[in-house]
Amino acid sequence: MQTQRAYYDIDITRESYCAEIREIRVLQDTVAVMLDKTIFYPEGGGQSGDRGTINGVALVDVQEKEGEILHLVSALDGARLELGPAVLVLDMRRRRDFTVLHTAQHLLSGTILRLTGTPTVSMHLGDELCTIDVDTKVFPEETCIMVEEAVADAIEGDQPVIIHHCPPEKVSAFPLRKVPPQGEAVIRVVEIQGHDFSPCCGTHLASTGQIGMLRILGAEKYKGMTRITFIAGRRVLRDSRLLRHNGELSSRGLKVPVAETGKGVLALLEKTNQLERTIKVLEEENAGFRAEALLRQAVPHRGEPALLVESIPDAGIDEVIRIGRAAQKLSDALIVLVSPRDVKFAAFCSVKGVDIRPLLKGNMEAQGGHGGGGASFFQGTFPSGAALAAFVDALP
Ligand SMILES: [Zn+2]
């Protein structure tokens, strides 16, 4: 059924509109409400559908299919609606957000074309980020800044946005930035005076000043082109607030001014890397000392090779392995070191031709442990301290 389209002409000061529910169509997972006239923009032209309520029932989407406008609500909510008078309330904040972004996108694409000759191939306006894909492999930071500044000039110039309705045979009179849709009785051309002509069915501001601000957040290579991410309007305000908040947290932590937090973080990272390198050297040194002390006091079990079993209660398995590796260089014994803290063990033997696995694997598995390794290094973990103790007791 045909719905009169009033979504381009809404008055932002008005809270609600009256219409009539003409049909309620039950679909697979949702219910489609058909109205005699609507203020809700259906998804199209890269802009998502409006949100709002019909008689207090929340819209989950608005779609256009084969010329019909489907106001989609959940199946549960749909059961509450009936034919007859309807009060339509538009989520004005969301509509405004997308209208700003859509107009900003025209201005951005028009400006990039004018300054660099690069056309926009596709666009996406999302709930978080908006992107355009432009047909070039290279889009350096200087170009981003140049484009941002030119867009800011156009916003300050508050250029009017003019909507033209034009029959297809006369559309070539406009210097359009992209190819107009085929098969339309009337082509809707959106002009940003002095900047851009584009065929478009989306919602747009009355002038560029209402965009407020546009920021390019990044330009990265994407499928042989460049994907430019941008925000506009109040999203810039929210982004700036978030960055300032993070900047102040960093500034306090680093004890440098907000403007120098980037340099501060790099300096901190360099310092941390140096400390990590120093700690590694000290850990190796310490493991060497502990290995020497361990070999001095431990009495190996008789056998070939001799077996040496030690528990190291204050160390985790990483430190235990470091000590074991150091001890292995100083002794021909089969060394089994246990970390009761991590409920793990590691075993080492540097004697060539000796395979330590037969001595450990079956015993480990018999106690419910699991692990693995090679002929000269083996490690395992147990479900409990008691299982680990039983494993140690069962060693020869
Ligand atoms: Zn548009």
Tell me the CATH number at 123: 3.30.980.10
Question: 276 in a domain, yes or no?
Answer: no
Strand partners, 161: 192
Count of the separate structural domains present in the chain: 3
Same domain, 120 and 219: yes
- First-residue to last-residue Cα distance in the chain: 88
pLDDT at 120: 95
Would you state the pLDDT for residue 301? 73
Q: How far is CA 241 from the centre of its chain?
A: 19
253, part of any domain: no
Task: For residue 293, report the distance from its CA to the centre of ligand 1, in Å.
Answer: 77
Please indicate, yes or no, if residue 262 is contained in any of the structural domains: no
> Looking at the structure, do residues 65 and 189 belong to the same domain, yes or no?
no
Below-70 pLDDT ranges, the chain: 302
How many whole angstroms from 101 Cα to the centroid of ligand 1?
Answer: 9
Do 118 and 234 fall into the same domain? yes
Distance of CA 197 from the midpoint of ligand 1 (Å): 10
The answer as to whether 131 is a domain residue is yes
pLDDT, tens digit, 9 for 90 and up, residues 116-147: 999 999 999 988 889 999 999 999 999 999 99
Q: What is the distance in A from the centroid of ligand 1 to the CA of 271?
A: 50
Query: What's the gap in Å between 88 CA and the centre of ligand 1?
Result: 24
pLDDT at 183 (0 to 100): 85
Q: Which two tokens stand for residue 296?
A: 């001095």
How many residues does the structure list for the chain? Answer: 396
CA atoms within 13 A on the CB side of 115: 18
Are 62 and 100 part of one and the same domain?
no
CA of 287 to the centre of ligand 1 (A): 67
Q: Decide if 275 is inside a domain.
A: no
pLDDT at 159: 96
Task: Report CA(143)–ligand 1 centroid distance (Å).
Answer: 24
- Burial classification of residue 14, based on how many CB atoms lie within 10 Å of its CB (0-12 exposed, 13-18 middle, 19 or more buried): exposed
Q: What is the pLDDT of residue 102?
A: 94
State the pLDDT at residue 305.
75
Q: How far apart are CA 203 and CA 39, in angstroms?
A: 12
Q: Which amino acid is at 305?
A: P
Residue 368 sits in a domain of what CATH number? 3.10.310.40
CA torsion angle for 322, 324, 325, 328 (degrees, to 10)?
160
- Encoded tokens for 176: 């359009």
Q: Is 231 helix (H, G, I), strand (E, B) or coil?
A: strand
Residue 152 in any domain: the answer is yes
Whether residue 31 is found in the same domain as residue 160: no
349 CA to centre of ligand 1 in angstroms: 73
Is residue 115 domain-shared with residue 130, that is, in the same domain? Answer: yes
Q: Domain range spanning residue 382?
A: 298-393
Same domain, 110 and 210: yes
- Residue 166 CA to ligand 1 center (angstroms) comes to 16
Q: How far is CA 179 from CA 99, 112, 172, in A?
A: 22, 17, 10
Q: Are residues 120 and 76 in the same domain?
A: no
Distance 212 CA to ligand 1 centre (A): 17
For residue 180, whether the previous peptide bond is cis, meaning omega lies within 30 degrees of 0, is no
Are both 203 and 157 inside the same structural domain?
A: yes
Per-residue pLDDT at 44: 87
Question: Which domain-ending residue is among 241, 256, 290?
Answer: 241
Q: Which residue has the tokens 């819209």?
A: 59
- Indicate whether 280 belongs to any domain: no
Secondary structure of 68-113 in HEC code, one letter for each residue? EEEEEEEHHHHCCCCCEEEEEEECHHHHHHHHHHHHHHHHHHHHHH
Distance 190 CA to ligand 1 centre (A): 7
Q: How far is the CA of 351 from the centre of ligand 1 (A)?
A: 76
99 C-alpha to center of ligand 1: Å? 8
- Cα(193)–Cα(187) distance, rounded to whole angstroms? 18
Distance 200 CA to ligand 1 centre (A): 5
Last residue of a domain, one of 55, 90, 125: 90
Domain end call among 67, 90, 113 = 90
Which residues fall within 8 angstroms of residue 281, CB to CB, at 6 or more apart? none
- Do residue 48 and residue 136 come from a single domain? no
**340 closest CA partner among 382, 385, 379:** 385
Beta-bridge partner residues of 200: none
Distance 115 CA to ligand 1 centre (A): 20
pTM: 0.76
